[in-house]
Amino acid sequence: MDKKSKILLIVLILLTVLSIGYTFWKTVIQQDFEVSEEVPVKE
């Protein structure tokens, strides 16, 4: 694998870990998401 591809791979892995980590923290730990018991009318 060439150097440019390695950098791209590392960037993508880091972003993935950060994104999943942040989503887990926000959703499961902070419970920061909207919950509705009614299905809204679509736009």
Partner 1 sequence: MLDFSLTCSDASSAVWGLLDFSIAPPLLFYAYIPIIVISLFLGGFVLIKEKFSLRSKLLFIVSIIFTSLLLNEILLWIAAPVSLVEFGWQLEPLFRILVAVFTVYFIYAFINKRDLPFTQKLILGTAYISVILLTPTTSNIVFFDLNNCEGIPGRLFDLTHLFEVVSMLWVAVITVKNSLQASMPKSEKYQNAFLGGAAVLFLLVFFASTFFGDVTKVYEIGLLGPVGMVTFMAFLTFIIVRYRAFNIKLIGAQALIVSLVVVIGSEFFFIQNTTNQILTAITLVITGFIGINLIRSVKKEVAQREHIEKLAGELQATNERQETLMHFVGHEVKGFLTKDAGAFAAISQGDFGQCDVNMKPFVERALVESRQGAASVENILKASNLKKGTVAYTKAPFDMKELVAEAVEKAKPAAGLKGLTLTFTADEGSYQMNGDKAQINDHVLRNLIDNSINYTPSGSVAVSLKRASTKIIFEVKDTGIGITDEDKKRLFTEGGHGKDSQTVNAHSTGYGLYIAKQITEAHNGTIRAESEGEGKGTTFFVELPVKPVS
Give the binding site for partner 1 (CB under 8 A).
1-2, 4-5, 8, 11-12, 15-16, 19-20, 22-24, 26-29, 31, 33-40
Distance CA 4, CA 6 (A): 5
Minimum distance of partner 1 from residue 40's CB (angstroms) = 8
Minimum distance of partner 1 from residue 11's CB (angstroms) = 8
Contacts of 33 (CB under 8 A, 6+ apart): 26, 27
Minimum distance of partner 1 from residue 22's CB (angstroms) = 5
